Amino acid sequence: MTDKIAVTLRVNARDYRIEVEPRRTLADAIRTDCGLTGTHLGCEHGVCGACTVIVDGHAVRSCLMFAVQAEGSHIRTVEGLADGERLSPVQQAFHDHHALQCGFCTPGFLMLATAILEDNPRIGADDLRHALASNLCRCTGYHNIVIAVQAAAEKMR
């Protein structure tokens, strides 16, 4: 298990040449090998969604994917959302609507919401709530997360 494989991960439009064990998850590679610790691990079995990143346009649980599987894909993480100091519409809406408390689930929700809205900014309220049910938050009770994503959707239409 310890023979390492050279992989190039393209994260937030930058190439990271790393060497990883085949069993290394994409989440661990992003965090430890690329040094992008904004992606969080809450359960490591694909339920909580804290580790959600965007891989080739799709919201993906990075704890359920191996780093070697992501070679050649375009990966986006929370570190790539803002334009310099300017927050993305989803980030700004989370701030404006108090959609985070401890903030641990926040990167995963931001990536999930970004993927949902980039796919369809006109998504209906019920479908949106259902899609946001992909991830867990323990602090907010979800109320303000739903409101924030709806507000971001308005801006992204």
Partner 1 sequence: MTWVGRSLKRFEDAPLLTGRARFMADAAIGARAVRFVRSPIAAGRIARIDIPDGVSAVTGADLIGVKPFRPRLNRSDFTPIEQPILPTDRVRFVGEPVVAVIAETPEAAEDAVDSVAVRFEPTPAVTDFVSALKADAPRVHDHAPANTVVDAKIRPPAVEAAFATAAHTVAIAIRSGRQSAFPLETRGARADYDPATGRTTLTVSTQMPHIVRTGLADVLGMREDDLRVVAPAVGGGFGQKMCPTPEYVVLIWLARRLKGSFAWIEDRHENLMASFHSRDQAHTVKGAFAADGKLLAIDVDLLCNIGAYSCFPVTHGVEPLMAMAEFPGPYDFPAYAARARAITTNTCPMAPYRGVSRPAITLAMERLMDTAAAKLGLDPVAIRRRNLVATFPYTSATGIKYDAGAYREALEIAAEKVDLPGFRARQMAARAEGRYLGIGFATFNERTGYGTPAFAPRMMDVTLGYETVEVAMDPSGFVEARIGASPHGQGLATTLAQIIADELGVAPDTIRVIHGDTDRTPYGWGTFASRGIVIVGGACKIAAAKLAVRLRAVAATLLQTEAGKVELADGRAALAGGPASIPIAELARAAYHQAHQFKDQPDIGLSARATYDPDGTYSNACHVAIVEVDVETGGVRLERFLAVEDAGRLVNPTIVDGQVRGGIVQGIANALFEEILYDQAGNILTTSLMDYAVPTAAEIPPIEIHHLETITDASITGAKGVGEGGAIGAPAAVINAVADAVESLGVAVYEMPIAPQRLRALIRAATGKKR
User: For tokens 């969080």, what's the residue?
Assistant: 40
Region 1-30 residues binding partner 1, contact defined as CB under 8 A: 1, 21, 23-24
Closer to partner 1 by Cβ: residue 39 or 62: 39
Amino acid at 1: M
Rounded to whole angstroms, the Cα distance separating 28 from 20 reads 10
**Nearest-approach distance from CB 73 to partner 1, in angstroms:** 19
Binding string, 88-127, against partner 1, x = CB under 8 A? ---x--xxx-x-xxxxxxxx--x-----------------
Sign of the dihedral defined by the CA atoms of residues 35, 38, 41, 47, in that order? negative
Q: Give the Å distances, CA to CA, from 137 to 23, 45, 107, 140.
A: 28, 16, 11, 7
Q: Give the interface with partner 1 as residue ranges (CB under 8 A).
A: 1, 21, 23-24, 31-32, 36-45, 47-48, 50, 77-79, 81-82, 87, 91, 94-96, 98, 100-107, 110, 129-130, 132-146
